[in-house]
Amino acid sequence: MTTAITMPEGAPEEVITHSLVRDVDLAPFGFSGTLALITLDNGLDHTRPNTLGPQSIIALDAAITDAVSRKPAAIAITGKPFIFAAGADLSALSFLNQREQAVAIGKLGHDVFRRFDEIGIPTFAFINGLALGGGLEIGLHCKYRTLATTAFTALPEVFLGLVPGWGGATILPKLIGPERAVQVIIGNALNNNTMMKSKDALALGVVDAVFEPADFLEKSVAFTARILNGSVKIDRKDYSSDPAWDSALAAGRAAALKKFGGAELASPTKALELIAAAKNNSRGAGFDAEDIALADLTMSDSLRASLYAFNVIQKKRKKVEGAPKPAVARKVTRVGVVGAGLMASQLALLLLRNLKCPVVMTDIDQERADKGVAWVKNELAKLVEKKRMSAESAARLALLISGSSDQSVFAGCDFVIEAIFEELSLKQELFKKLEKIVGPECVLATNTSSLSVQRMSEGLEHPERVVGFHFFNPVAIMPLLEIARTSHTDDATTATAVSVGKELKKTMIICKDAPGFVVNRLLTRFMGEITDAVDEGTDPQVADNAMRSIGFPMSPFELLGLVGPGVALHVAETLHENLGPRYRISPTMQAMVKEGVKTFYIKNEDGTYAANPAAIALVHKGDSPSSAEQVRLRALKALAEEARMMLDEGVVSTPAEIDLCMLMGAGWPMHLGGILPFLDREGISESVCGQRFHAPGIASLPQ
């Protein structure tokens, strides 16, 4: 009998996942006997997946006891429609204030889940839908696993600052081998939490059979009968003496260091230690080690920070702060894209794939327009080659994209977005032309990164339908979309923009039309402090590496190479003009743009990177160098100052929106929990602004 765990005061009430038991006769499938089938079901629809808090695990323990008492030939576990289990209930973890509580939760999961391996009869997991973390770990404790072709599985714990702590780090390496286990536990988790499709899980050996969802349960029961009657045998390889253990662990460590810019984070480090120990550990010893590792991580600021970031992202995906009621949004059935360059073509492809309506592109001549259309069609063909889209779907979409040099093709469009050269006068002239072509309710959107949306709408008859619609490059991958309202933008326009953003599957914030909006304003201020330090005489390598210990995936100058010095300089000049001298214009950046030097780093033949002599030669050589720590502090203090100003100006309404923007638009590390909680923990918020951005305990241990 398991012992109930009392959660700390203030923790959210657990949504209990019940475990229901029924008997299934195996005779029709060729075996004389019964199967005791446990079904996980929290009683809610598929939008709220089964999760595993303490009471849910205790309910599962009682169900296993019930199933055993029925004396079946085998026991199986499955989930409610579309969902197996989405892992541990993380909502209460940030409320734990005693290490013993964390240890007890880890031990509870182990004590219950391991019963599937130790009850003495064959056990099966029929994974009929999403199985993440602890959900997949239930299956790993079973002797055999089947998976629906539509199901996705993963062990995402390292992504969140944890480890697979209910058996995954111990069982998986022995089940599928060290190389594959490192890929699933470390590689997939750090690659934006990549999930395994059914064919991947089968190829890796995570599951034993895959069936279509229509008759998944029936096929899984039949598979069980064939295992029991001996007509199907599953061979398991012993990986204890596999020569790949050391190389697999080294590859995992290298991947983690690369992901976090050379910083050695606790969760991947502990996960690799558990995988290494699994080679010689008994299951019991491995589970004990998982309990300790899980407790250590649970009682860390790093985990609280990750959970805060995760919750902010999940919450803001569902509800956009300040969005008008969806009912006032207008229907979008035809879209126009002004421009046919790379950015415009990316936008056209994204709109086409998600809205599935006619999309028309224009440029200054037919040749350029045709080139943009050809790029979109070529990308559709690539998706077919990669089997990410059917040939039929690609053919239908290809019929919906067209190009022209005549902007009159925008007549009848409900939504037109421009992605032309970043010059205000050009955009003003464009919108005046478009207004005479489109209907009065057509939304006119701009993808500008720094120019005033309000000024673009000056002189229009309907300035209320102009809105900023700022994407990040690459458009298909970067999840953030900044929607900028001017003082004229009305609710119908804003609601329509939000509606389109949701169709595009973007995470959105609505911000005030202010220079640089949110991400570019903060990034430019941050980058400016780094380039200023270089201009003052700091060695470029010292300045660029000053933030490495924080765990950014790339350094400031690596980011500069991705964005391009020309774009960075243009944004800095715009912000300097509109926000004042704290946005200084770097003579080094000016020289790089003038000479056409694109990056501070060049790639060597062996794949490593070295300083670009052409860039180093252009560095403005000042006589006031700074240390790495001085550069780090000035950059962080600048971020705190700018964030405070943005909140005071009403660019966004809450600190969480700034955190979201930096997480989703600038790659701010999840383990830091958002830029503002990090500045709070470092004491920088109070030293610069005289106050914290968040209340004590947000993204850190309880005070």
CA atoms of 381 and 584, how far apart (whole Å): 45
pLDDT tens across 535-591, in order? 999 999 999 999 887 877 788 998 888 888 998 999 999 999 999 999 999 999 999
* In-domain check, residue 369: yes
Residues 656 and 512 sit within 8 Å (Cβ to Cβ): no
Residues 532 and 575 in one domain: yes
Residues 365 and 442 in one domain: yes
| Centroid of chain to Cα 311 | 12
Residues 435 and 288 in one domain: no
Which has the closest alpha carbon to 16: 47, 76, 45, 58?
58
Which has the closest alpha carbon to 538: 625, 600, 621?
625
Evaluate if residue 193 carries a pLDDT over 60.
Answer: yes
Confidence (pTM): 0.88
CA atoms of 329 and 331, how far apart (whole Å): 7
Residues 397 and 282 in one domain: no
Q: Do the strands 466-470 and 18-25 form a parallel or antiparallel pair, or are they unpaired?
A: unpaired
pLDDT tens across 118-128, in order? 999 999 999 99
DSSP string, 311-324: HHHHHHHH--TTPP
Evaluate if residue 622 carries a pLDDT over 70.
Answer: yes
Residues 208 and 255 in one domain: yes
Q: Alpha helix locations (H) across 194-261?
A: 198-204, 216-229, 245-259
Residues 81 and 213 in one domain: yes
Last residue of a domain, one of 512, 535, 567: 512
The CATH number of the domain holding residue 592 is 1.10.1040.50
Q: Which residues pair with 335 in a beta bridge?
A: 359, 415
- Residues 6 or more apart whose CB falls under 8 angstroms from that of 620 comprise 534, 535, 586, 587, 588, 591
Confidence of residue 263 (pLDDT cuts 50, 70, 90): confident
CA atoms of 516 and 681, how far apart (whole Å): 26
Residues 572 and 643 in one domain: yes
Residues 391 and 479 in one domain: yes
Which pLDDT value is given to residue 318?
87
pLDDT tens across 343-377, in order? 999 999 999 999 999 999 999 999 999 999 999 99
Which pLDDT value is given to residue 274?
98
Residues 546 and 470 in one domain: no
Which pLDDT value is given to residue 10?
67
Evaluate if residue 89 carries a pLDDT over 90.
Answer: no
Percent of the chain scored above 70 by pLDDT?
99
Confidence of residue 701 (pLDDT cuts 50, 70, 90): low
DSSP string, 299-362: TSHHHHHHHHHHHHHHHHHH--TTPPPGGGPPP---EEEE--SHHHHHHHHHHHHHH-S-EEEE
Q: Which amino acid is at 115?
A: R
Confidence of residue 261 (pLDDT cuts 50, 70, 90): confident
Residues 627 and 616 sit within 8 Å (Cβ to Cβ): no
> Torsions phi, psi of 579, nearest 5?
-115, -10
* In-domain check, residue 677: no
Last residue of a domain, one of 482, 512, 542: 512
Range of the domain at 416: 326-512
Which pLDDT value is given to residue 402?
98
Based on the structure, what is the number of domains in the chain?
3
Q: Alpha carbon of 697 to those of 91, 640, 680, 694: distances in Å?
A: 15, 19, 10, 8
Radius of gyration of the chain (CA): 28
* In-domain check, residue 670: no
* In-domain check, residue 318: no
Residues 481 and 561 in one domain: no
What six digits make up the tokens of 224?
């069980």
Which has the closest alpha carbon to 173: 106, 239, 87?
239
Evaluate if residue 688 carries a pLDDT over 60.
Answer: yes
Residues 27 and 150 in one domain: yes
* In-domain check, residue 589: yes
* In-domain check, residue 309: no
- Residues 6 or more apart whose CB falls under 8 angstroms from that of 212 comprise 148, 149, 219
* In-domain check, residue 699: no
The CATH number of the domain holding residue 396 is 3.40.50.720
* In-domain check, residue 659: no
- Residues 6 or more apart whose CB falls under 8 angstroms from that of 6 comprise none
Residue entry with tokens 């309404």: 653
Residues 576 and 633 in one domain: yes
